[in-house]
Amino acid sequence: MRKIERAEDLQSNTNPAKRFYHLCIVNLVIGTLYCSKGNYEFGISRIIKAMEPFNKKLGTDTWFYAKRCFVSFYEALSKHMIVLKDSLYKECLEFLDQCEIHGRDIPVIITTMKPFENSSSSNDKNSVSYEARLLKGLFIRLND
């Protein structure tokens, strides 16, 4: 992982506008595996780490895999299978806030628009920001 991080740093120095997802994908896979085995504390923290910095790592595909882990995490919380630490609660809320801020222009589903199709209402809901707000509301409701 350090090797990948160094290579991404070198490439980002030569081309700062380009996005590199290699380390992000590695962290998403590790986080997903830990979440699937029930170790949500480490898995969710790895998912959050995968998205940093949000302006370069948050995208349609990365959000898809991150939200799957969060939904699985919420399911385990709702069934009282796990106990949530306060530090993880704060970390999740901060993560969802950052996703809301940086995900305004990132679509959740990539579609091709037809020229005469009126989709202004569906366009508002087709963003990472919208889904992050929904997940945050559900998370707060689950914790209360």
In this predicted model, what pLDDT tens digit does every residue of 13-54 receive, in sequence order?
888 888 888 899 999 999 999 999 999 999 999 999 999 989
Supply the DSSP symbol for 112.
Answer: P
139 neighbors 92 (Cβ within 8 angstroms): yes
* Alpha carbons 42 and 130: distance in angstroms, whole number: 26
Six-digit token string for 99: 């996703």
Which of 29, 51, 31, 30 lies closest to 98, judged by CA? 51
Sequence-ordered list of residues with C-beta below 8 angstroms from that of 72, at least 6 positions apart, any chain: 35, 36, 40
User: What is the domain extent for residue 127?
Assistant: 2-143
pLDDT of residue 116: 53
pLDDT of residue 15: 85
* pTM of the full structure: 0.84
pLDDT for 95-119, tens place per residue? Answer: 999 999 999 989 988 766 555 555 5
The total number of structural domains in the chain stands at 1
110: left (phi over 0), alpha (psi -120 to 50) or beta: beta
Mean pLDDT, the chain, whole residue set: 88
